[in-house]
A and B are shown apart, each in its own frame.
Chain A
């Protein structure tokens, strides 16, 4: 119960995250078919399949490197808005682990904050527009609030924050991206990108439980 993940454990966690998202392709496809064009699931699968390969490389041997490798793989292989946004999330978040080389509760919360800041800047969006930000922002706040209670508590809090965000996104009207033109027809359905955020964090919670 050290509450930290060393470089090797980080790499294993990212493998688990990638596998989890690959396994849940259909969940994302069906969510996206409802309010988008249905390519979110296959896009994320392409990105995380490439991430599994990238995690074998030498550059992925550090905590920072593992996050960056996953981000770069998603950026290059998922494509579209999801590739830019999720690639940016992992690449910007990786910097939080540069100094210590490990993941603990405080650096994990920082990674979410830095990832969120970079995504907001890249996407030009704010909270409430029915995007992945609506899961990432509450997750980031919940993680920060739980710092001091250990890594397992922080990933659990972040996951719960993201799930609350997914739920809240149902009531939102999409005002950006391809779902924007649906307007009020988007009400009642969660944002697929927000679901992806919750799945990523849930996989991290499962991996870090007992850490």
Chain B
């Protein structure tokens, strides 16, 4: 398969150039930390519990596009598909800290876990209290009894939204952590890949899929999913994803949920809306009501084609934080 066409300058400078462009696109509400690949919100109120998010680059607008009011206070950025280093995370944490501690929220990957944990150790020396909540919403990655082995995928966005709202309103790190953990327990996702994305620096696709193949349950870096299959209809794919997601929590009759359909990069809105129609029919059949729907592009994997479906069970508290207005480049909602 031909390597993808990319609109780039120097492949070794894709991340710094992207960060420069991202900071500028925030029209003055966000700044880049001096000498470090991290973005920080300018107007963090004093005495606020801070929310620091972060992870590998290449998934834009995740994570660094979600810095803003009622969202992340800062984001530590790694290289493409690689976790940020401990010094970057620690510097970003210091920049967002307003005396009430910092919640680290990121996807559950070995590299992120190690680097963020090393940053926690560095910050202990500075007397900054940190709590960690990892997003592990991908039901395809491991069975329910091994949640700690599950990857974080598009559930990241709802988790950031909820934790961001809670961190704006609640006065203690304990309380913000409690809300984030509730959201972590109630969010489930699963995706399907139709074609591969690439890493700019190698110029190579991260996996190969034949023209008539899809991979159900594939991760956000091309990690293997549940099964390779022949391409099938939108409804059949939606049925398979929803079967797995609904049975996992499990979501029950009478539950109220938020529904996100996330484009992995190159899938059209038209396809996702067709999928949405089937998902709503399934949810109606199961007696599950939808409090809000998000269909769009938030966690991408370069030019990978495919989408993921995320459901988060809601109660009044999660609804409140999910519905707070959000202001960020990657996700805004009035």
Q: How many A-B residue pairs have CB under 8 A?
A: 106
Question: Quick one: which of A33, A38, A83, A179 contacts B85, CB cutoff 8 A?
Answer: A83
Complex Cα gap A76–B170 (Å): 34
Which chain A residues border B221 with CB–CB below 8 Å?
A: 37, 178
For the complex, is A123 an interface residue (Cβ under 8 Å from B)?
Answer: yes
Closest to B228 in A: A185
CB proximity to B under 8 Å, residues A175-194: 176-183, 185
Interface size on A, as a range, is 20 to 34
Interface residue tally on B, bucketed by range: 20 to 34
Task: Give Cα A122 to B219, complex, Å.
Answer: 24
The answer on a CB contact under 8 Å between B114 and A85 is: yes
Contact A38 B202 (CB under 8 A): yes
A50 → chain B, closest Cβ, in Å? Answer: 11
**Could you say which residues of chain B place their CB within 8 Å of the CB of A38?**
199, 202, 204, 206
Flag if B114 contacts A84 (CB, 8 Å). Answer: yes
Are B114 and A123 in touch, CB under 8 angstroms? Answer: yes
**Is A181's CB under 8 angstroms from B114's CB?**
no
Interface presence of A140 (CB below 8 A) = no
List chain B residues, Cβ under 8 A from A123.
110, 114
Alpha-carbon distance between A42 and B80 when the two chains are bound, in angstroms: 10
In the complex, A142 has a CB within 8 A of chain B: no
Question: B221-241: contact bitstring with A at CB < 8 Å (1 yes, 0 no)?
Answer: 111110000000000000000
* A178 contacts B114, C-beta separation under 8 Å: no
Q: Which residues of A contact B (CB under 8 A)?
A: 29, 33, 37-39, 41-43, 46, 75-85, 122-123, 176-183, 185
Q: List 15 interface pairs A-B (beta carbons < 8 Å), by A numbering.
A: A29-B204, A33-B206, A39-B82, A42-B79, A42-B199, A42-B201, A75-B86, A75-B87, A76-B87, A78-B85, A80-B83, A123-B110, A123-B114, A181-B223, A182-B223
Interface residues of B (CB under 8 A from A): 56, 78-88, 109-111, 114-115, 117-118, 140-141, 149, 151, 199, 201-202, 204, 206, 219, 221-225
Given contacts A75-B86, A178-B110, could you give 13 more A-B pairs where the C-beta distance is less than 8 Å?
A33-B206, A39-B81, A39-B201, A80-B78, A80-B111, A83-B83, A122-B117, A122-B118, A123-B114, A178-B221, A178-B223, A182-B223, A182-B224
